[in-house]
Structure 1
């Protein structure tokens, strides 16, 4: 057994996939159950709780505004944004229905549509935007966390404590309550025993999502591959195009609240937690344990590197050392994609040529 493990490690170092094994359906079923029960359901429950707190604190600010309460709202926003970042990596299922994903967070916003629409609302107040139910039917760009951040960190935030129940604050409260409603829906839907969680846990011919365990596990691997690509391409490359490319600090998500790096770190923490709590390692067989170690190392290394970075200001992005750190993170993420997409998928027997990656 030691010889086999050593061989697996050598093959990984050489960039060669370890030998594949037939997918153990009993193990695969347990992995999917753990993914749902120990990551997805708790993730949406936590997001629901933090969104509810954000709405409650915002309501207090509107009713009795002062600087201390504004600070509490800003702290609640940061918590909500990070909790969403941990679970948003699961870009499958109910979150993609009814535009829920974009309604929680409209990003990337390459043409600053959201900011322009929010500015237009502030210039010409529309009371419909202060009603969460009516707001939910409007542009996705004005009803989620991006719009909330602009209101409470970017556009004259001190104006929020100038008077009670201002339009500015009531609109922000409607956003918070709208996000809370979406979070509550996702929490409820994933908690229904006969709903989507059953589809994930019990694949079969009558299952609308997954006909067998191989399809279910393939979807879970896809969450990891696309999640890492999402962090690299839509989070980091949004503001850093490479050492010879443009640097766009104001294109970074949550740059106004200095939450860019904490949220990216939360994305990676979510991926790492999903990998571990679902016990993806168990799918790989004893001889391929080094492959699981390598994936966990990439996740941990990338997250720790992100946590050490200051917000991506113009000065930071012009600094060569800062650029090198970003390039190291991107390299690590690229390595994680290759390991999961090629080695993990191949090892559990998904077949030659099988790939989730979008390419570089």
Structure 2
């Protein structure tokens, strides 16, 4: 841990507290290189392994014998996305990639409709990459794959196999596109390291740092607003178990833990560039948030209906809100990085 923080301090040119906040360009570059790219790399590896597993499992046109292996690959790949889903800056925001990876919330059963369309195409033969990309975004990513792995429908085993191969291949391709976009010779990271803006993602290095900080604060808000509040409701009889992300695959709490672990890691990198007293206070609250989500029941939806188990969810919401406030009121001002609007702020 000390070595990692020392490296971050070196990258951002950290100086004594009296010297003022670090320059935003090196701060943003260090965050992307030390935090973001390794997680996109892990996501890329996980989706590639998932795609290979589907291809191997479907050699005989029926994945039922390899179901547990495919479910395991799905869980690991979905964890990889949970670690970066809050990031809106960069290539993930281009071409509806984030929605294609994980469409939600699904209020109109769009995933089932899109998956049915894909299975219909798959009943006629292998599905080309272009055919998947022309589908609704609801049928291109993890929610559709989850239904294949954890539910049954009227499609033939061979059609379901072809659909799974097509979706998993699509996810691996998108993951590679995101990583390649960051690494491009004239991509956003290269421009940032040259002290330039990017025509798509940020006007200048200061805005890059601000967007990273905003995405981070919005990430804590995202967990509350999209993964906990909709499930919890205002009372046990108002709970909505099937509003829980990944309820079919039993990964509702797991997804939250993966997201919060990643958010806390990013927050600690920012905090390492802040005054020590600020960093220490924030680290304490981050640890409390991680501890709170660790106590979330695995059957999150059912727990929301149980008056005796709802307090664990309420405690997690409070701890995550505290962490979000720390970023807005302590870390961002200490680093001279303003917070902007995020996708959850509305109009």
Check whether TM > 0.5.
yes
1:62 to partner: Cα distance: 1.1
1:236 to 228, 232, 244: 228
* Offset from partner CA, 1:36-86 (integer Å, 9 cap, x none): 112221111111111011111111111144655211111000000001111
For the 8 Å contact 1:235–1:253, the answer to whether it is kept is: yes
TM-score normalised by length of structure 1: 0.81
Shift of 1:308: 2.8
Cα-to-partner distance string for 1:99-124 (whole Å, 9 max, x where unaligned): 10000110111222112332465578
Mapped pair 1:323 → 2:320: no
C-alpha contact 1:269 1:299 (8 A) present in aligned 2: no
1:63-102 correspondence to structure 2 within 5 Å: 63-64=59-60, 65=62, 67-102=64-99
- Of the structure 1 ranges 75-84 and 308-317, higher mean CA displacement relative to structure 2 is found in 308-317
Map 1:128-277 → 2, pairs under 5 A: 130-155=127-152, 166-204=158-196, 207-208=198-199, 209-210=201-202, 212-243=204-235, 246-276=238-268
1:343 deviation in Å? 2.2
* Structure 1 runs not aligned, ≥5 long: 1-18
- Which of the residues 329, 332, 337 maps onto 1:345? 332
Determine helix, strand or coil for the equivalent of 2:309: helix
| Contact persistence 2:120–2:159 (CA under 8 A) | no
In structure 2, the partner of 1:23 is 21
Note closer, same or farther for the CA distance 1:323–1:273 as it changes in structure 2 (3 Å cut). Answer: same
Aligned to 2:36: 40
List per-residue Cα deviations over 1:182-209 (Å, max 9, x = no partner): 01111211122431112343434x6545
Check 1:345–1:120 CA distance in 2 against 1; reply closer, same or farther (3 A cut): same
Bigger RCO of structures 1 and 2 (CA < 8 A, at least 6 apart): 1
Whether the aligned pair in 2 keeps the contact of 1:342 and 1:355 (CA below 8 Å) is no
- CA distance in structure 1 between the partners assigned to 2:340 and 2:96 by the alignment: 27
In 1: Cα distance, 2:233 partner to 2:318 partner: 14
Q: Report the alpha carbon displacement of residue 176 of structure 1 after superposing the two structures with TM.
A: 0.2
Shift of 1:327: 0.7
Contact 2:210 2:340 in 1 (8 A): no
| Distance in 2, Cα, partners of 1:121 & 1:138 | 8
Bigger Cα Rg = 1
Q: Give the 3-state SS of the residue equivalent to 2:135 in structure 1.
A: coil
Q: How many residue pairs align between the two structures?
A: 327
Going from structure 1 to structure 2, the CA distance change for 1:127 and 1:322 (only over 3 Å counts) comes to farther
* 8 Å contact kept, 2:236–2:304: no
Counterpart check, 1:301 vs 2:288:
yes
| Change beyond 3 A, Cα 1:310–1:128 | farther
- Given that residues 239 and 251 in structure 1 are in contact (C-alpha distance below 8 angstroms), is that contact kept between their aligned partners in structure 2? yes
Distance between the aligned counterparts of 1:350 and 1:192, measured in 2?
A: 26
- Range 57-66 or range 121-130, more displaced: 121-130
SS of corresponding position for 2:86: coil
Moved more, 233-242 or 91-100: 233-242
Any conservation in 2 of the 1:341–1:356 contact (CA below 8 Å)?
A: no
Report the CA distance shift for 1:207/1:53 in structure 2 as closer, same or farther (over 3 A). Answer: closer
Tell me the CA shift for residue 314 of structure 1.
5.2
In structure 1, the partner of 2:8 is none
Gaps of 5+ in 2: 1-16
